Amino acid sequence: MNKELIIRTGSSAVDFALLKDGKLIELNKEEDDSNFAVGDIFLAKVRKSVPGLNAGFVNVGYTKDAFLHYHDLGPQVLSLLKFIKRVSTGKLKDYSLKDFPLEKDIDKDGSIADVLKSNQSLLVQVVKEPISTKGPRISSELSLPGRYIVLVPFSNRVSVSQKIESKEEKDRLKRLVKSIKPKGFGIIVRTVAEGRKVAELDNDLQNLMSRWTGMCKKLYKAPHPSKVLGELNRASSILRDVFNDTFTSICVDDEALYTQIKDYVSEIAPKKESIVKLYDSNIPIFEKFGIERQIKTTFGRTVSMNKGAYLVIEHTEAMHVIDVNSGNRSNKSKNQEDTALEVNLISATEIARQLRLRDMGGIIVVDFIDMNKAENRKALYDHLREEMSDDRAKHKILPPSKFGLVQITRQRVRPEMNIKTREENPNKTGEEIEAPIVLINRINQDLQKLLKKDYKKITLSAHPFIAAFLTKGFPSPRSKWFFDHKKWVKIVPRDAYTYLEYHFHDNDGEVIQ
């Protein structure tokens, strides 16, 4: 399995594409004006508490106040408030917490009015970026994520990722972390720490302690609101969260960013430093790796899959709805139940990819093709869970209902990735059509179906632009058809056709598609 990270820089944004065996599975964008990223820590001021919601509204500098629920305060919020007051006034200059007396934990069923007061200073962390008309969602239970561990101030708890299955490894990691843990800080051991030595964990811990100290130094006489700790840039945070030994290439088209990423990789995985490459070519990097084509064919309302099946993805304010369709594929299965299972399994794989790719969150309802057998429904459920196991966003999947519906909840922490794939119709002003590259895919699919039938000769009639594209270069798309199917397709340009019109003809000139 090849895993590649392709990074494209622009004047106002940086795009990150994660490929798995050449297929796009994740797309991220970092914009210059992104002031409220997940993980950022702000010194903010409480605007007001609302006992009816058991929550408060906090001014973090966004046009709308951030929402802070009582359960997001964290049990050690009283210790945090005392620490902020002493540091911001200059009375406390030791930020290590080793001699800082912790306050009693707040009652888990308490009231927001008993903890927060208007105009109170508070350190908060963004847990959900502003989405649609809503301001950011925040927490005052701070955490500083590193490569192998997460540092939690004002806590003494040590916990290990549940994804590490070996009890011996969990015990080993817990023992190592307890030996290096500073007083006043809790530690969460991440999945990637499995098999790591104490020196690597300690190095990660020291980096996080340096970030904590640097943040605390900014608190003295700091204005409200102000960002006191920014999350790593998106490239570093993606590498921190997803980078592992399976990565085979990291390609970037900007020299400054290349140097930054190379330094970061040499720090977290010295043996993998050589996979970081600077891309230098006249062909745009996303074109070279086929990403632009995948974006055009993946982000539309309709998503094509193998064997003629396709998805229809609709968005509403309350939820996302995905409909699974078998299409007019040739049925080689023995019966309808086998066909339904085959299409559903293909669709489950694509749906898992689409959720990550578009970063869809909230409630997702999938209408799979009905299956009568309980074992088939279980096979679909297990397959979908397996396909989504690599998804970094927290999610929950319910088994198929009686109507064949599968309900998914997926954590939404930033706005959904929404890319416009429709373009202006060259034949009609004011109308939009799907991207021309999608047309080429559709011609390919139609041709594959026709070539399975016993036609002696197939002719494709198309607009001159499309005909030229299919016949140009070597190997041209038509040449590839010949290599794959051992059948030559005659292509005839037709001036009378509209831009996206095409037809297949048989030996007698009759239209067959």
Can you spell out the DSSP letters for 11-34? Answer: SSEEEEEEEETTEEEEEEEEETT-
**How many whole angstroms separate alpha carbon 285 and alpha carbon 17?**
11
Asked whether the predicted pLDDT for residue 26 surpasses 80, the reply is yes
Q: How large is the average pLDDT for residues 177-185? A: 91
User: How many angstroms from the chain centroid is the CA of residue 342?
Assistant: 27
* Sheet containing strand 489-493, strands side by side: 489-493, 458-462, 502-505
Write the pLDDT tens digit of every residue in 193-248: 888 889 989 988 998 999 899 889 888 888 888 888 886 666 677 777 677 677 88
The angle that helices 436-451 and 291-298 make with each other, rounded to 10 degrees, is: 80
pLDDT at 334: 60
Nearest to 411 by CA among 388, 384, 382: 388
Q: What pLDDT score was predicted for residue 406?
A: 94
Burial (CB count within 10 angstroms: exposed 0-12, middle 13-18, buried 19+), residue 356:
buried
In this prediction, residues 181-199 reach a mean pLDDT of 90
The pLDDT value given to residue 62: 86
The pLDDT score that the predictor gives to residue 284 is 87
The answer for residues whose C-beta is within 8 angstroms of residue 201's C-beta and 6 or more apart is 148, 149, 173, 176, 177, 180, 189, 193
Average pLDDT over residues 385-404: 87
The reported pLDDT for the residue numbered 33 is 56
Across the chain, mean pLDDT equals 84
Q: Are 188 and 149 in contact (CB under 8 A)?
A: yes
CB 183 within 8 A of CB 98: yes
pLDDT at residue number 34: 60
Structure tokens at 322: 């995905």
pLDDT band at 153; cut points 50, 70, 90? very high
- What residues pair up with 321 in beta bridges, in sequence order? 314, 365
**Rounded mean pLDDT, 282-308:** 83
Choice between 173 and 480, residue whose per-residue pLDDT is larger: 173
CB 152 within 8 A of CB 76: no
pTM: 0.68
Model confidence at 430, in pLDDT bands (50, 70, 90)? Answer: low
Q: Highest mean pLDDT range out of 234-248, 396-410, 495-509? A: 396-410
What percent of the chain clears pLDDT 90, i.e. is strictly above it? 20
Q: What is the chain's Cα-based Rg?
A: 27
* pLDDT score for 186: 92
The one-letter code for the residue type at 230 is: G
pLDDT value for 418 = 65
> With helix as H, strand as E and coil as C, how does 241-286 read?
HHCCCCEEEEEECCHHHHHHHHHHHHHHCHHHHHHEEECCCCCCHH
Which has more pLDDT, 330 or 267? 267
Structure token pair of residue 309: 């099946």
Q: What is the pLDDT of residue 421?
A: 61
CB 356 within 8 A of CB 368: no
Q: How confident is the model at residue 401 (pLDDT cuts 50, 70, 90)?
A: confident
Question: What's residue 322's pLDDT?
Answer: 94
Q: Sorting pLDDT into bands at 50, 70 and 90, what band is 429?
A: low
Question: Picking from 64-73, 245-254, 431-440, which range would have the lowest pLDDT averaged per residue?
Answer: 431-440
Using DSSP, state whether 50 is helix, strand or coil: strand
Residue 163 to residues 194, 198, 213, 397: CA-CA distances in angstroms? 10, 20, 31, 17
**pLDDT tens profile 333-372:** 567 888 889 999 999 999 999 998 888 888 999 999 988 8
